[in-house]
Amino acid sequence: MWKLHTKLKLLTKRLSQWSRETIRNIHEQVINWEEKVQRLEELEIANNTEAERTETNKAHAEYICKIVEKRRRLHLDRIKNHKGKWITGEDKISKAAIRHFNGLFNLPASSLDPSILECITNRITDKENITLKDTPTEEEIKHAVFNLCAYSAAGPDDYNGTFFQSCWDIIKEDIIAFVLEFFRVLWKFDFCELWFDMILNLLSGI
């Protein structure tokens, strides 16, 4: 399972090196482009006519009016407190909001009576349960990979679905080996709940 993890880490370093050599420092490029835009804006201000300035000022005024109107609509003048009474004033509204969310996040711990589960009928047969535990085929693994969200990743600066889908022909052997090893380990530990949680934590970091 660590082979895929190690390869992806190595690839990350190589991509980072390639980025520095090819694209170079993106922060410096942003600064350079900001300076170019500023110079163009200065040229436009210096060369524009009275009519153009009037039109620009009018557009700015309309934009500001829209922003002010939007903020006015979003502004809270009053809310109802926990007793159902209307309250006004930023200080009172803030205290009411804090009280409300404190109540939500500090609810008393609830206990579940295990006997309730006896009322639930079995919806999965023994045959279906065995099928759920079967080791996935190569086609099933590929289907799962190509159903990943193209723009979602496990974490910051991580690989998204587009990477796995676009490079499938290159990385499929490693991905398939990883998934098969994952299921092999689960079977070895008899799907132990603690081990399952550990595996999920490991996957979230890859």
Q: Give per-residue pLDDT as tens, 156-197.
A: 668 888 999 999 999 999 999 988 888 887 666 655 555 555
Report how far residue 58's alpha carbon sits from residue 62's, in angstroms, rounded to the nearest whole number: 6
To the question of pTM greater than 0.95 for the whole model, the response is no
Cα separation of 97 and 131, whole Å? 49
* Domain ranges (residues) in the chain: 23-104, 133-189
CA-to-CA distance for 5 and 2, rounded, in angstroms?
A: 5
Helical spans, DSSP H, in the chain: 2-22, 26-47, 50-74, 90-105, 126-132, 138-145, 161-166, 168-188, 193-204
Digit-coded pLDDT (tens) for 43-93: 777 777 777 778 777 888 888 888 888 777 777 788 888 888 898 888 888
